[in-house]
């Protein structure tokens, strides 16, 4: 029996044409707040320098949305990370974030932030793992209390994870990468 190699994964900046496929990925990934289709079009267009897609066999299998904080351009705030169920456990989420951090256009970024619900174990592991792999500290503090969210749906508290200061090698920045290169 011949063992098939896992399909290659390529990481790149999103394009506006990716917006609808990203919306579908977020919708189907489960556990994430689904925003309007328009918001994903805008993220893929206006925030492409701080967002990333993972592509495999002609389809988008991962997406991270992030932005530089307006009041603090040295901090990259990660809003969402979505990974196709078939690609989970392969380091795609971490690679998406690393791809954004390693871009020359983000050379001023020295801190990484995200809010994570206390019961979101995969995201907690991801961000703690990123901190460890970068040799950076990670502080955790209260950010948004559940009673601040509107509507009848319950929402967990959101804790702020702040990683840094970061020391990133940007020597291979701004080129599409394959999963094998990122896992080195």
Residue-wise pLDDT tens digits, 110-142: 999 999 988 888 899 999 999 999 999 999 999
Between strands 72-83 and 111-116, the pairing is: parallel
pTM: 0.86
Give the Cα separation of 2 and 10 in Å (integer). Answer: 24
Which residues lie below 8 Å from residue 26, measured CB to CB, with a gap of 6+? Answer: 32, 34, 35, 40, 63, 80, 82
Partners of 81 in beta bridges = 64
* pLDDT of 102 strictly over 80: yes
- Tell me what the mean pLDDT of segment 167-180 comes to: 57
Which of 64-68, 151-155, 172-176 comes out lowest in average pLDDT? 172-176
pLDDT band at 1 (very low <50, low <70, confident <90, very high): low
Residue pair 64/25 in contact by the 8 Å Cβ criterion: no
Distances (CA, A) of 86 to 6, 21, 93, 94: 11, 16, 13, 16
Size of the chain, expressed as the number of residues it contains = 184
Residue pair 62/24 in contact by the 8 Å Cβ criterion: no
Provide the percentage of residues in the chain whose pLDDT is more than 90.
67
pLDDT for 172 equals 55
Q: Is the peptide bond before 165 cis (omega within 30 degrees of 0)?
A: yes
Residue pair 100/53 in contact by the 8 Å Cβ criterion: no
């Amino acid at each position: 029996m011949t063992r098939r190699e896992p399909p290659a994964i390529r990481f790149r900046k999103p394009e506006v044409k990716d917006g609808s496929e990203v919306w579908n990925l977020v919708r189907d990934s489960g556990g994430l707040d689904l925003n309007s289709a328009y918001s994903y079009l805008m993220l893929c267009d206006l925030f492409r320098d701080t967002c990333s897609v993972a592509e495999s066999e002609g389809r988008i299998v991962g997406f991270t949305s992030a932005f530089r904080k307006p009041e603090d351009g040295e901090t990259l705030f990660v809003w969402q990370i979505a990974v196709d169920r078939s690609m989970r456990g392969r380091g795609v989420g971490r690679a998406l974030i690393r791809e954004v951090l390693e871009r020359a256009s983000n050379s001023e970024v020295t801190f990484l932030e995200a809010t994570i619900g206390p019961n979101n174990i995969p995201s907690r592991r991801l961000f703690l793992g990123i901190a460890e792999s970068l040799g950076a500290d990670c502080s955790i503090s209260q950010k948004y209390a559940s009673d601040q969210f509107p509507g009848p749906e319950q929402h967990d508290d959101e804790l702020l994870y702040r990683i840094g200061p970061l020391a990133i090698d940007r020597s291979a920045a701004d080129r599409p990468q394959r999963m094998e290169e990122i896992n080195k």
